[in-house]
Amino acid sequence: MSENGRRRVLSGVVLAFVFLALHSNPALGWSARGHETVGLIAADLLAARNPRALAAAERLLGGATLEQVAPCADFIRRGSGADCAGIQLDAEPQSRPWHFIDIPISDSPESLEPYCPGGNCVVDQIKDDVRALEDSSASFSQRQLALIYLVHFVGDEHQPLHCADEIVDGRSDYGGNAKPVVFEGSRSQRLNLHALWDHIIEPKDKLDPSTLAAQLERDIKKRDISSWTSGDFVADAARESFQIAKDDIYPEYAADGGRIDASYHDRMQALAELRLEKAGVRLSALIETALGGQGPESSQRLAQASGLPAGGAAIGRRVDAMVRQAAWSRQ
Ligand SMILES: [Zn+2]
């Protein structure tokens, strides 16, 4: 393609980008398409590795798919309920802080606890949702809501600006929501850094999340993903997001004075896609942990998820039992 042709394509991409971002709520986390992509990746991985866990998840969702319910949590965080993927959900305004964890980029956190008062942050909520899903004494609707939250929050946690903020003059910028972004050639001031990132994956496959999911799944197959689901990977995901915001996103914003051109998208797309890949892989592991039963195919995954007991004693007990059983079988 000629340089002019390439420029035209890129400016089209930026315009699509601006349009989508201006017509969205800036504080929702990945756009619906981003969340749907995470749900699709997780479902495909489960279908291949543990179809029993996927079937259990879809039964809980009344036949809806992980993709369909992935955006639902954003529809109930304010004052009204919603019909989402055929499921009637009540308003859950208390869930508003559960979509993020604000860690100031001036900090170098050893523990995430100080940033998660009362367990009201995305990290603790993901662990709580896994516990609720595992809890056979919980009601159907409690477990259904826990799964709807889990699918969404794992996606949110991988959006870097859901795990970082900057304190300016003693006030938070709310993960870049208070940082205006100016596109070269655009006079609009309505776009902000957080909204830009919510939609950063969209120009590539804006009409079809399944195309993007298939592409990312091919990429996942080429990667060594064992470390993605080892140890306390739920906390690790938030730390990774924080570090990307601190090392890449905020310094670049400061250097450019908030001015964005087409090359920004080129540079950041790979980073954003890797976040979606990790979210999909980790979501599948968590669902398998909670709903996968105790078949041999899930035992390794359960053991790998042993970082969870910090947030889930029930899971810890089950992982311990699986590990003991596996050790016994080998004798
Ligand atoms: Zn959200």
Nearest Cα to Cα of residue 309 among 320, 300, 298: 320
- Look up tokens 């940082």; give the residue: 179
Ligand 1 centroid–CA 240 distance in Å is 18
Q: DSSP 3-state assignment of 293? A: coil
Ligand 1 centroid–CA 73 distance in Å is 6
Residue 322 has which token pair? Answer: 């699986």
Question: Which residues surround the ion ligand 1 when the cut-off is CB under 5 Å?
Answer: 29, 74, 99, 156
Ligand 1 centroid–CA 60 distance in Å is 21
Helix 262-291 / helix 296-304 crossing angle, nearest 10 deg: 120
Q: DSSP 3-state assignment of 171? A: strand
Cβ–Cβ under 8 Å, residues 46 and 57: yes
Q: Which domains, ranges and CATH numbers included, belong to the chain?
A: 3-293 (1.10.575.10)
Residue 175 has which token pair? Answer: 């993960």
Rounded distance, CA 280 to CA 276, Å?
6
Q: How far is CA 47 from the centre of its chain?
A: 20
| Count of residues in the chain | 331
pLDDT per position in the chain (331 positions), as tens? 444 444 333 344 444 444 444 443 444 568 889 999 999 999 999 999 999 999 999 999 999 999 999 999 999 998 889 999 999 999 999 999 999 999 999 999 999 999 999 999 999 999 999 999 999 899 999 999 999 999 999 999 999 999 999 999 999 999 999 999 987 766 655 689 999 999 887 766 565 889 999 999 999 999 999 999 999 999 999 999 999 999 999 999 999 888 888 788 888 989 999 999 999 999 999 999 999 874 434 434 444 443 443 333 333 333 333 322 322 222 2
Ligand 1 centroid–CA 172 distance in Å is 18
Ligand 1 centroid–CA 326 distance in Å is 38
Cβ–Cβ under 8 Å, residues 29 and 162: yes
Ligand 1 centroid–CA 95 distance in Å is 10
Q: Which DSSP helix (H) or strand (E) runs through 259?
A: strand 259-260
Ligand 1 centroid–CA 77 distance in Å is 9
Rounded to two decimals, what is the model's pTM?
0.82
User: Dmax over Cα atoms in the chain, in whole Å?
Assistant: 71
Residue 278 has which token pair? Answer: 């990790």
